[in-house]
Amino acid sequence: MIYLDNAATTKMYDEALEAYMDVCKNHFANPSALHSFGMEAENLIKDTKKYIGKLISANEAEIFFTKSATESNNIAIKSFEGVALTSKIEHSSVFNSFKNSNFKEIRYISNDKYGFLNEDDLKDKLDNEVTFVSFIYVNNEIGTIQDIKKLSKIIKDFNKDIVIHIDATQALGKIHCDVNELGIDMMSFSAHKFHGPKQLGGLYIRKSIQGKIRPILDGGYQEVISSGTNNPPAIYACGIALKKQVESNEYKYIKGLNTYLRKLIEDKIMDTYIISPIESSSPYILDVAFANIKSEVLLHMLEEEKIYVSSGSACSKGDYSRILTALGIDKKYMDGAIRFSFSSEITRKDLDYTLKVLKSSIEMIRMVI
């Protein structure tokens, strides 16, 4: 199997899986319980918050666990009202949360063909009514790394009370996520993107704005901003996975893979358009569009050879992808975007084989249309 869909989800690290099972077996008490067995489980949560807090230059009391980055994004966005700024290339859990939020107006900052946000447009759209901003840090479809530090400086220089949230789901563990350096107030993340368990998300919330957060789930408020019995096995495994991801030292290797596949595709397959930028882009993601190809057909042809990728141009209700539309991609490429996303388990030999299957599949599809 050649698994090139790591931006969709990653395989759990063995260490994380073992930690998960150990907590399930040996520390299964309810962490809210008053007895010492419960406190053991609670301490595992505290230790994990401490680790994540230290990693992002925050305090443990500023880290909250949720069921997913989707929940984190919803909580962040639905806690505020007034006028918001965001973009059209956000993950759907941000884009659609805004549609169902309390904001009276949502302004979309324009972007270039690589997904970089336009700073002049940001300056134009900032006014005294703006209360909240949400931007994606690493774009999940194309890999573009937004210059959050620069954008947040523009925003905070205009009005330091504007709350800035970023969706760092494809960033945490892979690129530097220091909340003070970035100048942000909230940050969402998700354990299954860095080889941790699924259905375990998190939200960093700066102390000074915590009083403004409105929980979506009411109940025991175990995580203050969310309710429901906490999940110590997943939380502890999340911390173990994040530490391993951070210490993996794989960035250079992944970048090598990305550059290698990019070049193979450029050199060997005609009429392609590489959507992911070369600079300021996550090496974990490579989005490529092939002219006159239906990505879904190509995806299934790759799958026949046990090569798993994602379609970067998944349409909804017959429309073109929102992201590709916002990037202004030429129509002939619109249907044919494929996202390759890497992990350290991938080798160059895997990519040689992927290229071979990709090339023959594309030639076959192009022959029949």
Mark the segment that binds ligand PMP (CB under 6 A) among 67-75, 111-119, 127-135, 237-245.
Answer: 67-75
Mark the segment that binds ligand PMP (CB under 6 A) among 64-72, 175-183, 212-220, 313-321.
Answer: 64-72
Selected binder of ligand PMP within 10, 68, 111, 152 (CB under 6 A): 68
Q: Which amino acid is at 43?
A: N
Selected binder of ligand PMP within 134, 144, 152, 169 (CB under 6 A): 169
Mark the segment that binds ligand PMP (CB under 6 A) among 49-57, 165-173, 212-220, 349-357.
Answer: 165-173
- Answer for the pair 235, 200: CB distance below 8 angstroms, yes or no: yes
Is residue 292 left, alpha or beta, with left meaning phi > 0 and alpha meaning psi from -120 to 50? left
Q: Which two tokens stand for residue 189?
A: 């993340």
By beta-carbon proximity to ligand PMP, the closer residue of 70 and 343 is 70
Q: Give the binding-site size for ligand PMP (rule: CB under 6 A).
A: 12
Least separation, in Å, of the C-beta of 6 and ligand PMP? 11
Distance between CA atoms of residues 207 and 230, nearest Å: 21
Q: Which of residues 196-255 bind ligand PMP (CB under 6 A)?
A: 201
By beta-carbon proximity to ligand PMP, the closer residue of 91 and 165 is 91
Selected binder of ligand PMP within 6, 87, 111, 140 (CB under 6 A): 140
By beta-carbon proximity to ligand PMP, the closer residue of 2 and 285 is 285
Distance between CA atoms of residues 347 and 162, nearest Å: 45
Please state whether beta strands 307-308 and 81-87 pair in parallel, antiparallel, or not at all (unpaired): unpaired
Selected binder of ligand PMP within 27, 49, 78, 91 (CB under 6 A): 91
Least separation, in Å, of the C-beta of 168 and ligand PMP? 8
The SS3 of residue 344 is coil
Least separation, in Å, of the C-beta of 314 and ligand PMP? 12
Least separation, in Å, of the C-beta of 188 and ligand PMP? 7
Least separation, in Å, of the C-beta of 142 and ligand PMP? 11
- Asked if residue 93 binds ligand PMP (CB under 6 A), the reply is yes
- Answer for the pair 289, 275: CB distance below 8 angstroms, yes or no: yes
Selected binder of ligand PMP within 170, 230, 313, 341 (CB under 6 A): 170
Q: Which amino acid is at 192?
A: H
- Answer for the pair 67, 235: CB distance below 8 angstroms, yes or no: no
- Asked if residue 6 binds ligand PMP (CB under 6 A), the reply is no
Hey, which residues are catalytic here?
315
- Answer for the pair 171, 202: CB distance below 8 angstroms, yes or no: no
Distance between CA atoms of residues 284 and 245, nearest Å: 13
The dihedrals phi and psi of 61, each to the nearest 5 degrees, come to: -75, 0
Selected binder of ligand PMP within 5, 42, 167, 185 (CB under 6 A): 167
Please state whether beta strands 285-290 and 337-341 pair in parallel, antiparallel, or not at all (unpaired): antiparallel
- Residue 322: in which H helix or E strand, if any? helix 322-327
Selected binder of ligand PMP within 70, 86, 245, 272 (CB under 6 A): 70
For residue 193, count other CB atoms closer than 10 A to its CB: 28
Query: Rg of the chain's alpha carbons, rounded to an integer?
Result: 21
List interacting residues with ligand PMP (CB under 6 A).
Answer: 68-70, 91, 93, 136, 140, 167, 169-170, 190, 201
